[in-house]
Amino acid sequence: MRTADIRSRFLDHFAERGHTVVPSAPLPTPDPTLLFVNAGMVPFKPYLTGESAAPWPRATSVQKCVRTLDIEEVGRTTRHGSFFQMNGNFSFGDYFKEEAIALAWELSVNPVAEGGYGLDPDRIWVTVHHSDTESRGIWRRVAGLPEERIVARGDEDNFWSMGVPGPCGPCSELYYDRGPALGRAGGPAVDEDRYMEFWNLVFMQYERGEGPGKSGYPILGELPRRNIDTGMGLERMATLLQDKANLYEIDETRPILDRAAELAGVRYGADPEDDVRLRVVADHVRTALMLLADGTTPGNEGRGYVLRRILRRSIRSVRSLGFQDPALPELLTVARDCMAPSYPEVAEGFARIADRAYGEEDAFRATLRQGTTVLDTAVAKVKDEGGRSLPGAQAFLLHDTYGFPIDLTLEMAAEQGVEVDREGFTALMNAQRERARADARARKSGGAADTSALRAVLDAHGPTDWRAWEALTTESRVLAVLGAEGPLPAAETGAIVTVLLDRTPFYAESGGQDSDAGLLSGASFEAEVLDVQRPLPGLVAHQVRITAGELAPGDTVHAAVDPEWRLGARQAHSGTHVLHAALREVLGPTALQSGSYNRPGYLRLDFPWRGGLSPAVRGDVEEAANRALRRDLPVGVRWMTLPEAKEQGALALFDETYGEQVRVVEIGGAWSRELCGGTHVERAAQIGTVAVTTEGSVGAGMRRIEAAVGIEGFRYLARERDLVGRIAEQLQAPRAELPDRIAGLLDRLKAADRENARLRQRETVARAAELAGGAVDSGGVLVVTATAEGGADEARALATAVRDRLPDGRAGAVAVGTPGGAAVVAVNRAGREAGLHAAELVKRLLDGRGGGSPELAQGGGLAADRVPAALAELPRLVADR
């Protein structure tokens, strides 16, 4: 049975029994404690914990999940996978143990012809918590299981909680006996390879208190509403129903593995190390495909770093197998074909997915070429000196200069038998991060409210009554004034604090739009609004500076958004949508926004594209945007369900989380249709103008376009006009002739530079002959020292020219210094044969600061007045060799 069929059969089984089918949430999650959804229950967490009322009494889903805590184990064992799918059924205060067990048993053992999986009931074992006699009795009664196949286990295995105070309860796990060839008899307590767990039923019926670990915390009592949360590993069920040894051999992963083996000319099962690499490739390519499909972009932080690491591990593994050409164009298409039956979006969005993946591979291949050479040299030096650990500073250099992540340095160093000073690396990274944080604090100071204090306000007063879409002013009441240490009784003139209001007209920064500016005022105070954020879902927090008087909780305030600021913000946000649509019109549908930022007068938009945009293409994009403004396209807002929005072609940001109803902003109907929570103009002409200012790279396969809009757009164009006018006046040329006139000037400058270089070379040759003729014998070595008026390039040219003019057969060494405190040392062939080494000489001349080859080396760092004395040491150094 194909994995896609196992998936649909699961959903059909529960849909026919009254469950609402809930689509998988995107892998990126808004939960601040997680980067990605890592369990099937994560999207249902607010309903299971009672934070929100569930919209359905019972639900079912197949949730995409990614876990990367044990990424190094992927491939080394056959039980670890980064990406997996979790089939689940959920009850929110509806049915409980008996129905949950009956539903699981029916699907597991019912014949395939009747919609079940057809598992042999005599090979199914279950585990229950040792205290849960109720579940034991249900398994005996509903499934007819004999006592010996119902195994009692303790808290570590069969009692569930989230690790913090809240819901908890016993669980019951289903195992399938795969036969004596895979291990010992005796059930899951004896061998969990032979007896594979495939379903876990969690019975949330208690509330737990504070306490560490999986046991030892107090049970505070029964929950008012008992819930069911189950999880069946889709890949595990596929392993059973397809009669495979492990998850790497099922229909969604084995084709990727086989293609990698074919490319590398190896056979799976022939070599244990090759098998590990092949499993890494199969897992990571599939994981990368699904992360890219859900909008994650390779980067250096957070989710982007996880994706980049996964892609790079897969690329390295293929190269280690012996395939040196680009591999992702061969492998990602196979992964697409494996996953498209369950997730059609991977085929529909494949052009965008492939573009980002292939760009990342191209960039990483270049990184490998540069960084591997540096790493190999550093490792060789460590070994030559008898060491076993690569210094942390070297690992940091690889990370900071060559883009080598520390995990890659650790892996590659370990392959050569060398450890890495991880503590030294971490110290340098922490120092760098602290500098960045200090810089950020210097740019934006202010009080930061404690999350617990914010949560207390939200729990006591409920969500903020947010009016930004329809109002610029509100009459509001101060719910709390918070400082960095928590609630304050009042805030006086000069203080920067966080203010929570019962209602507000201020837009909180989100969706790429900057927060509003404005004022809070009352009978005895005035405050400037500096920033507005949503620190918790539903709660709007205002960072303000008290400019007069005193502000206290309970005060009545007049909250007023600066109308000019809001107008500029609306122009910029609508301008972002217009520019996005114009990009897609000119470049095609793969130019999909992957990040944006806008504030009054300015916008930027990131999009995947390989290679820069030519001036002509930039002009086409700008013209397409301004044509929309000239046509004065209407801007409208509609509310609909997410499936309806997708059906109508609305574009969504993948890392956003949307509710049952979504807000769709349209400009010209289908021309621009996006899910958006920002503020917008009413018609496109109100944007004024869109003037593209820059376009450039912000990473592998990612471009950024920036534009000025509204009055700032007109000001930008006016400045450009004035600049062209001044240049035309200085060159005394009509504006239309400026490109040709400037090109002519540049040609003449280049010709003059070439002539100057030719004259300098002639002068160098003449001086080199003179200096070589004046060489001094020191211990049988001809020595020349000199200074160059220019920089290191001129010194290098002079040193090599003098060296090449020394008499054949005579050992020679030349040192040339610069006014900037640098020096170059050159040694001829006879000098090398006599034991001279240029790199060693330059280090001794410059107190260890320098390096290079035995024939030519350079260094720097001396004070200018010390250069002559340093050069004067050369005769002594060669004589003492």
Q: Tens of pLDDT along 731-771?
A: 988 988 898 999 999 999 999 988 887 887 788 878 899 99
- Residues β-bridged to residue 127: 151, 173
| ∠ CA 162-7-313, rounded to 5° | 70
Distance CA 729, CA 723 (A): 10
Average pLDDT, the chain: 89
Sequence-distant (≥ 6) Cβ neighbours of residue 307 within 8 angstroms: 288, 291, 292, 296, 297, 298, 299
Taking residues 807-822, what's their average pLDDT?
90
Distance CA 420, CA 759 (A): 51
φ, ψ for residue 565, nearest 5 deg: -60, -45
pLDDT tens column, 182-205: 889 999 989 988 999 999 999 999
Q: How confident is the model at residue 668 (pLDDT cuts 50, 70, 90)?
A: very high
Examine the pLDDT at 215 and tell me if it is beyond 80: no
Distance CA 435, CA 437 (A): 5
**How far is C-alpha 143 from the geometric centre of its chain's CA atoms?**
47
**How far is C-alpha 651 from the geometric centre of its chain's CA atoms?**
21
**Number of other residues whose CB lies within 10 A of the CB of residue 730:** 8
* Alpha-carbon torsion (574, 580, 581, 583), positive or negative: positive
User: Reduced to 3 states, what is the DSSP secondary structure of residue 848?
Assistant: coil
Examine the pLDDT at 418 and tell me if it is beyond 90: no
**Number of other residues whose CB lies within 10 A of the CB of residue 698:** 14
Check if the beta carbon of residue 47 is closer than 8 Å to that of residue 54: yes
**Number of other residues whose CB lies within 10 A of the CB of residue 21:** 13
Distance CA 262, CA 830 (A): 52
**Number of other residues whose CB lies within 10 A of the CB of residue 878:** 24
Distance CA 479, CA 538 (A): 14
Check if the beta carbon of residue 325 is closer than 8 Å to that of residue 312: no
Residue with the bigger pLDDT between 627 and 698: it is 627
| ∠ CA 367-369-372, rounded to 5° | 90
Q: Is 284 annotated as a binding residue?
A: no
pLDDT given at position 448: 46
What is the residue whose two structure tokens read 């040219």? 797
Helices (H), 77-149: 97-109, 133-138
- Residues β-bridged to residue 556: 477
Sequence-distant (≥ 6) Cβ neighbours of residue 557 within 8 angstroms: 475, 476, 477, 478, 501, 520, 521, 522, 551
Examine the pLDDT at 443 and tell me if it is beyond 50: no
Distance CA 567, CA 681 (A): 8
pLDDT given at position 441: 43
Distance CA 114, CA 609 (A): 49
The CA distances from residue 51 to 43, 54, 208, 220, 659, in Å, are 12, 9, 16, 18, 15
Residue with the bigger pLDDT between 377 and 434: it is 377
pLDDT given at position 376: 81
Distance CA 159, CA 216 (A): 12
Residue type, 81: G
**Number of other residues whose CB lies within 10 A of the CB of residue 190:** 12
In this prediction the pTM is 0.60
Torsion angle (degrees, nearest 10) of CA 7, 12, 15, 17: -120
pLDDT tens column, 769-814: 999 999 999 999 999 999 988 777 888 889 999 999 999 889 999 9
Residue type, 432: Q
Residue with the bigger pLDDT between 395 and 520: it is 520
Q: Is 19 annotated as a binding residue?
A: no
Examine the pLDDT at 32 and tell me if it is beyond 90: no
Sequence-distant (≥ 6) Cβ neighbours of residue 241 within 8 angstroms: 1, 6, 117
Residue 809 falls in which region: left (phi positive, over 0), alpha (psi -120 to 50) or beta: left
**How far is C-alpha 547 from the geometric centre of its chain's CA atoms?**
40
Check if the beta carbon of residue 602 is closer than 8 Å to that of residue 694: no
pLDDT tens column, 311-344: 989 998 998 898 989 999 999 999 999 999 999 9
Q: How confident is the model at residue 68 (pLDDT cuts 50, 70, 90)?
A: confident
Q: CB-based burial of residue 164 (10 Å sphere; 0-12 exposed, 13-18 middle, 19+ buried)?
A: exposed
Check if the beta carbon of residue 600 is closer than 8 Å to that of residue 571: yes
Distance CA 170, CA 202 (A): 6
Check if the beta carbon of residue 542 is closer than 8 Å to that of residue 508: no
pLDDT given at position 433: 65
Q: Is 573 annotated as a binding residue?
A: yes
Q: Concatenated DSSP letters for 30-59?
A: --TT-SB--STTGGGHHHHHTSS--SSSEE
Distance CA 681, CA 668 (A): 13
- Residues β-bridged to residue 497: 544
**Number of other residues whose CB lies within 10 A of the CB of residue 355:** 19
φ, ψ for residue 606, nearest 5 deg: -100, 140
Q: How confident is the model at residue 447 (pLDDT cuts 50, 70, 90)?
A: very low
Please compute Rg for the chain using Cα positions.
34
- Residues β-bridged to residue 597: 604
pLDDT given at position 396: 86
Helix (H) or strand (E) holding 321: none
User: Reduced to 3 states, what is the DSSP secondary structure of residue 95?
Assistant: coil
Residue with the bigger pLDDT between 607 and 135: it is 135
Check if the beta carbon of residue 120 is closer than 8 Å to that of residue 110: no
User: Reduced to 3 states, what is the DSSP secondary structure of residue 123?
Assistant: helix
pLDDT given at position 588: 87
pLDDT given at position 445: 37
Distance CA 785, CA 799 (A): 9
Distance CA 196, CA 175 (A): 5
pLDDT tens column, 144-178: 999 999 999 998 889 998 777 888 999 999 999 99
User: Helix crossing, 615-630 with 563-587: angle to 10°?
Assistant: 120
Torsion angle (degrees, nearest 10) of CA 283, 284, 288, 294: 40
pLDDT given at position 34: 81
Examine the pLDDT at 440 and tell me if it is beyond 60: no
Q: CB-based burial of residue 6 (10 Å sphere; 0-12 exposed, 13-18 middle, 19+ buried)?
A: buried
Distance CA 540, CA 445 (A): 19
Taking residues 366-386, what's their average pLDDT?
80
pLDDT given at position 438: 53
Q: How confident is the model at residue 415 (pLDDT cuts 50, 70, 90)?
A: confident
Distance CA 457, CA 541 (A): 11
User: Reduced to 3 states, what is the DSSP secondary structure of residue 159?
Assistant: strand
Distance CA 626, CA 620 (A): 10
Per-residue DSSP letter, 148: G
Examine the pLDDT at 446 and tell me if it is beyond 50: no
What is the residue whose two structure tokens read 């109907």? 669
Least confidently predicted of 57-66, 495-504, 582-591: 582-591
850-852 β-sheet, strand order: 776-778, 781-787, 812-817, 823-827, 856-859, 850-852
Distance CA 617, CA 846 (A): 52
Q: How confident is the model at residue 431 (pLDDT cuts 50, 70, 90)?
A: confident
Distance CA 709, CA 570 (A): 10
Domains of the chain: 3-249 (3.30.930.10), 254-368 (no CATH), 451-561 (2.40.30.130), 566-720 (3.30.980.10), 764-879 (3.10.310.40)
Examine the pLDDT at 63 and tell me if it is beyond 90: yes
pLDDT given at position 385: 81
Sequence-distant (≥ 6) Cβ neighbours of residue 549 within 8 angstroms: 492, 493, 522, 524, 525, 526
The CA distances from residue 629 to 512, 602, 695, 718, in Å, are 21, 16, 21, 19
How much of the chain is in helix, strand and coil states, percent to nearest 5? 45, 25, 30
Taking residues 429-443, what's their average pLDDT?
59
Three-state SS string over 545-605 comes to EEEEEEECCCCEEEEEECHHHHHHHHHHHHHHHHHHHHHHHHHCCCCCCCEEEEECCEEEE
